Structure 1
Amino acid sequence: MELNDKLTELYKFKQEKDRHIGRLVSKTQRFVREIASDFLQEKGYTNFRVGHMVALIHTDLQGSNINNLAHLAGVTKQAMSKLVKELQDEGFVTIEKHPNDARTLIVKLSEKGIDTMLDWKECTQKIEMTFTDVIGQEKLEQLIDLLSKITSYYETNNACMSDKAVLNLNLANAIPVKY
């Protein structure tokens, strides 16, 4: 391919940049994080990051060990331990020793953690209402169904992403949000 042909092709590609799936998903994720951050700030959460939800959302009501939380969240045990420690320091979770294995810690939601999860439920509803205002309920349901199919496929088949890429993606989601 000649240089002029390559430049023409590149020009056409760049003209469509606002319709590239990666860019759209990334920008949408940023909007979701901004809406969530603003919502949490309005609720009075000052020392809490949207990334903390990675740990809280996967914590079973009966409690979870750090290894399972790390696996479910797709992060290292060390990263999850750090998140859990931050959540414990702020009173969102409690830590207990496993009754049958003193080396294993069990993470449980505290009352503050339960309240936070209920606030998060309200936050996700607000995000969905915001998007419904833009595209309508039916299209939002279609979007959720389509994204669910895509994520399910790649999670089930572990296709396309190395463990390191998944880890980096999840750690990027744990970056503090603006307040």
Structure 2
Amino acid sequence: MKNKTIDYVLRATWQAVARMYNEEASKYDATMSLAFALLSIDREGTSSTLLGPNMGMEATSLTRTLKKMEEHGLITREKNPNDGRGVIIKLTPLGIEKRELSKEKVKRFNEKVLSSVSEEKLKHFFEVTDIVNTLVSNKSIFEED
């Protein structure tokens, strides 16, 4: 344990989870990013300008993901009625179907973890991740003392 740093454990765990989701998504000719995008799009549609920040995704990656989703018939792009320059991303019936499938996979992951971890340990996990996120958000990790 003394050789494992916090950032190493976070990174290794996230990579394992991402690999697991990508393996599962590949069974449906998809990726984790695509599934995450499906889950991030509201049933009524989501502004493309909100989608990137909500997903924590760079514009170029988001553009590539949306293009692939459009090619697969999962989404449509419509002009934003409130802002002529903007675009609303909407799920197609196939997109809604795949969104529900993605939702089930995420629920299953959560149920499996919840059944394997005590409520107290999970509470501590969320407390620690909240602290890490706050430290990072406040840019207090590398600031001068």
Q: For the superposition of Structure 1 and Structure 2, which TM-score range results when normalised by the shorter chain?
A: 0.7 to 0.9
Report what 1:16 is aligned to: 2
AA paired with 2:9? L
Identity of aligned residues (%): 21
Distance 1:98 1:90 in 2: 22
Partners of 1:35 and 1:127 within 8 A in 2:
no
Distance 1:21 1:104 in 2: 40
Partners of 2:25 and 2:35 within 8 A in 1:
no
Q: Could you say which structure has the greater relative contact order, defined with CA pairs below 8 angstroms and 6 or more residues apart?
A: 1
Count, aligned residues: 140
CA spacing shift, 1:155–1:69, aligned 2, 3 Å: farther
TM-score, with length taken from structure 1: 0.63
Gapped regions of structure 1 (runs ≥ 5)? 1-14, 162-179
Gapped regions of structure 2 (runs ≥ 5)? 141-145
Q: In terms of Rg, which structure is larger?
A: 1
TM-score, with length taken from structure 2: 0.75
C-alpha RMSD over aligned residues? 3.0
Report what 2:99 is aligned to: 117
CA spacing shift, 1:37–1:138, aligned 2, 3 Å: same
Deviation at 1:88, TM superposition (A): 0.9
Partners of 1:36 and 1:127 within 8 A in 2:
no
- 2:25 pairs, out of 31, 40, 47, with 40
Deviation at 1:67, TM superposition (A): 0.7
Structure 1 residues 108-157: Cα deviation after superposition (integer angstroms, max 9, x where no partner): 11222222222122212332355457xx2425x733x4444455452698
- 1:91 pairs, out of 69, 73, 78, with 73
> SS at 1:160's partner residue?
coil
